[in-house]
Amino acid sequence: MTKVGIEKMAFFTSGYYIGMDELAKSRQEDPNKYKIGIGQMQQSVIPASQDVVTLAANASDRILTAADKEKITMVVFGTETGVDNSKAASMYLQELLGLRKEARAFEVKQACYGATAGVQMAIDYLTLHPDEKVLVIGADIARYGLQTAGEVTQGGGAVSMLLSTNPKIVEFEGKSSFHSENIMDFWRPLYKKEAVVDGHYSTNVYIDFFSKTFDDFQTKYSMTVNDFKAFAFHLPYTKMGLKALKTILPESNNVDGLLSEFEASKKYSAEVGNLYTGSLYLSLMSLIANSKTLQVGDRIGLFSYGSGAQGEFFSAKVIADDEARTVIKNQVDELLAKRDSLTTPEYENMYTESLTADSNDHQNDSLPDTAKFTFGGVKNDKRLYKRFGEIIE
Ligand code: HMG
């Protein structure tokens, strides 16, 4: 069978975050509810100068060479924070990155599952077209609203993945179990910028879908929890992944090992918050970068969940050697270390401004944004993007 997997991956988020001590104090909550009960330490705050296109472009720009761009014949953009009801975000991305035009470029939506749909599509495509490469994006801005129960689980950013038949990070095994059902746990009607959520119900459905898909996977492939060295989960908040993991620990003969791998996998999400489509892949990056024990050849299990709802459990083998792991670690650690922290009023202003960032005929320049790609505003119903601060005509 053709070997297919992730050759390169990169993460990008905004230069701003709010700490959970600060948010808890402003919401008259015990900080331990946010830090231990929910499992979040910081939350990325996305200013009006970034949208999913620029988040994705800034992430992708960190990894793609001219030779990669020549080989990319499919661009799949997973998002539930689309910038247009008709046009796919991948079209803007293709231009910003200078990708070749002889490509299929489109957007995929199913809540937080979109990027996984892209990954699975890419695996099938590359099996038939082994000389080509596929760019898969998971980019979102998670918004629940100020002073809501979901506020502590907001966040945003993009993970960009280059899939090919020359994987350097993980190789997919082509083994997968999935489950879908019409469920009202979390959704965002067309007229809303913020999600509608039945929070406690959504956590129960997440666990239920994890159990269904993991049980099916074990039966289908005659495996048990003990065939996995680690698991990476979609992490809407890090305690959610821990709750799912705990349901399978009674069958494990390596409980401490799995818990310690989980600590490694949740590190980045605890500092960024929910990425929606990118979340599972940020946990994968975090696991690869921060695990002290993961070895080349180890099998990991990945659980993707998108409300509404779609679940998928699939497996991969680690390929990243120490050098590849250090590259990922340095890349994400440096990005997170250079962010500025916000007070609650600063966060609230930035949040409120970003809600109106899509209105017609305006420029987004209230704050300096040093990222290479920024969203410049809207003119005559057309989105304006900037490269190094200059509008791209
Ligand atoms: P809440 O009702 O404010 O919190 O909302 P709670 O009262 O349930 O407390 C949360 C936890 O903190 C509890 O622990 C408390 O015991 C603990 P648990 O019982 O869960 O283990 N706690 C404390 N711990 C230490 N010290 C304290 C303390 N006080 C309380 N002093 C909720 C929580 C997650 C429901 C809310 O934030 C929410 O609605 N979030 C958004 C929905 C969500 O993230 N759902 C996850 C599953 S759905 C999903 O993953 C899909 C999604 O990503 C969207 C997509 O697919 O596009 C969301």
Is residue 81 lining ligand 1, measured as CB closer than 6 Å? no
Which pLDDT score, from 0 to 100, does residue 356 have? Answer: 85
* CA pair distance 38, 20, nearest whole angstrom: 10
Q: 3-class SS at 221? A: helix
Is residue 276 lining ligand 1, measured as CB closer than 6 Å? yes
pLDDT class of 368 with cuts at 50, 70, 90: confident
pLDDT digits (tens, 9 = 90+) for 305-360: 999 999 999 999 999 999 999 999 999 999 999 999 999 999 999 999 999 888 77
Which pLDDT score, from 0 to 100, does residue 218 have? Answer: 98
Q: Is residue 285 predicted with pLDDT exceeding 80?
A: yes
Pairing of strands 16-19, 340-341: parallel
- Cis check for the bond before 309: say yes or no (omega within 30 of 0): yes
Judge if pTM exceeds 0.95.
yes
Residues shown for the chain: 393
* CA pair distance 63, 251, nearest whole angstrom: 39
> Once rounded to an integer, what is the mean pLDDT over residues 205-210?
98
pLDDT digits (tens, 9 = 90+) for 161-170: 999 999 999 9
Torsion of CA 163, 167, 168, 172, to 10 degrees: 90
pLDDT digits (tens, 9 = 90+) for 227-247: 999 999 999 999 999 999 999
- Whether 80 sits among the annotated catalytic residues: the reply is yes
Which pLDDT score, from 0 to 100, does residue 244 have? Answer: 98
Is residue 34 lining ligand 1, measured as CB closer than 6 Å? no
Which pLDDT score, from 0 to 100, does residue 339 have? Answer: 97
Q: Give the Cβ contact number of residue 41 at 10 Å.
A: 19
Name the average pLDDT for the chain. Answer: 97
* CA pair distance 247, 225, nearest whole angstrom: 11
* CA pair distance 66, 78, nearest whole angstrom: 23
> Once rounded to an integer, what is the mean pLDDT over residues 240-261?
98
Q: Which residue in 242, 263, 269, 234 sits closest to 157, CA to CA?
A: 269
Q: Is residue 191 predicted with pLDDT exceeding 80?
A: yes
Is residue 281 lining ligand 1, measured as CB closer than 6 Å? no
Q: Which atom of ligand 1 is nearest to the CA of 185?
A: 48
In contact, 268 and 285? CB cutoff 8 Å: yes
Q: Which atom of ligand 1 is nearest to the CA of 240?
A: 46
- Whether 112 sits among the annotated catalytic residues: the reply is yes
Which pLDDT score, from 0 to 100, does residue 290 have? Answer: 98
Residues 6+ apart with CB under 8 A from 250: none
In contact, 370 and 15? CB cutoff 8 Å: yes
pLDDT class of 6 with cuts at 50, 70, 90: very high
pLDDT digits (tens, 9 = 90+) for 42-82: 999 999 999 999 999 999 999 999 999 999 999 999 999 99
Which pLDDT score, from 0 to 100, does residue 393 have? Answer: 79
Q: Residue-wise over 56-91: b if at least 16 C-beta within 10 A, else e?
A: bbbbbbebbeeebbebbbbbbbbbbbbbeeeebbbb
Instruction: Find the largest Cα–Cα distance for the chain.
Output: 62
Q: What single-letter DSSP state applies at residue 174?
A: E
Which pLDDT score, from 0 to 100, does residue 365 have? Answer: 73
Q: 3-class SS at 295? A: coil
Which of 7, 22, 80, 312 is an active site residue?
80
pLDDT digits (tens, 9 = 90+) for 72-112: 999 999 999 999 999 999 999 999 999 999 999 999 999 99
Q: Give the Cβ contact number of residue 263 at 10 Å.
A: 16
Q: Which residue in 38, 245, 62, 301 sits closest to 150, CA to CA?
A: 38
Q: Which amino acid is at 142?
A: A
pLDDT class of 265 with cuts at 50, 70, 90: very high
46 C-alpha to center of ligand 1: Å? 22
- Whether 234 sits among the annotated catalytic residues: the reply is yes
Q: Which atom of ligand 1 is nearest to the CA of 308?
A: 56
Q: Is residue 367 predicted with pLDDT exceeding 90?
A: no
Q: Where are the alpha helices (DSSP H) in the chain?
A: 20-26, 31-32, 52-60, 66-71, 89-97, 114-128, 199-221, 238-246, 255-272, 279-290, 322-337, 344-355
384 C-alpha to center of ligand 1: Å? 37
Query: How far out from the chain centre does Cα 209 lie?
Result: 19
